[in-house]
Amino acid sequence: MRRSEARTSYRHFHLGKAALEKVVQTTIEQESAIALDQANAIADLGDWYLLFGQKLTAIKTYQLAEELLHSDENPEGASQSLFDFPKIIDFGIKRKTQESMGSENQPVTVQVSMLISEDGVASGFSLTNESESLSDDEINQLKKYFQSKRFRPRIVEGQVQESTHTANYEKLTVGVED
């Protein structure tokens, strides 16, 4: 990575971090905010840390969010909604859909099972609905798509755990330009 690219990445990290910290602060200060809203804001900050490779800080931030949920009236249900299953971290960034690409083909949804590591990285891909078959090229594109994503990991009792995750995927949107 060139020096200017490193500085740009560093700057983007700090700008995003500052914005998310402001969201956390504002959410906590709101009288009407419930613990789930506050924990969501904190978990988003943890996601930001994870995206930029700061795993230990991300885990501590996720643990803080989970602790906050345990102060809620329904800690088990709230905690499950945030950390029971891995979640793609996207911050509102979406790929072009097939409609915007102008394709006449109908998308086919396939279910993909994958292993999500403690770092939020996907691996060990397999199709769970065998009725759909994919070519080797489509499988490679699917792997590339999910490997380019980061996931909020599963957390149980404050500990980050590797877990299996199943996601639906429209195979025609694989490999489109951002």
Pair of tokens at residue 140: 């490679």
Q: In this predicted structure, what is the pLDDT of residue 84? A: 85
Backbone torsions φ then ψ of 92, nearest 5 degrees: 80, 5
Q: What CA–CA distances, in Å, run from 54 to 45, 57, 83, 88?
A: 11, 6, 18, 17
Q: Of 84, 118, 148, which marks where a domain is finished?
A: 84
Residue 29's H or E segment, with its range, is: helix 3-29
State the pTM of this model: 0.76
Q: Is residue 39 part of a domain?
A: yes
pLDDT in tens, the chain (178 residues): 556 666 778 888 999 999 999 999 999 999 888 888 999 999 999 999 999 999 999 999 999 998 888 776 665 656 567 888 888 998 765 554 434 444 445 566 778 888 998 888 999 888 877 666 778 888 888 889 889 999 998 888 778 888 888 887 776 544 444 3
Q: Is residue 79 part of a domain?
A: yes
Q: Of 25, 55, 84, which marks where a domain is finished?
A: 84
Q: What is the CATH number of the domain that holds 168?
A: 3.30.2420
Q: In this predicted structure, what is the pLDDT of residue 174? A: 45
Q: Is residue 22 part of a domain?
A: yes
Specify whether 12 is located in the same domain as 46: yes
Going by C-alpha positions, the residue among 46, 27, 172, 25 that lies closest to residue 109 is 172
Q: Is residue 24 part of a domain?
A: yes
Specify whether 144 is located in the same domain as 77: no
Give the number of other Cβ atoms within 10 Å of residue 124's Cβ.
Answer: 12
Specify whether 75 is located in the same domain as 107: no
Quick one: DSSP state of residue 157? T
Q: In this predicted structure, what is the pLDDT of residue 150? A: 92
Count Cα neighbours of 15 within 13 Å in the Cβ-side half-sphere. Answer: 6
Domain limits for position 67: 3-84
Q: Is residue 92 part of a domain?
A: no
Q: Of 84, 111, 135, which marks where a domain is finished?
A: 84
Specify whether 77 is located in the same domain as 105: no
Q: In this predicted structure, what is the pLDDT of residue 95? A: 52
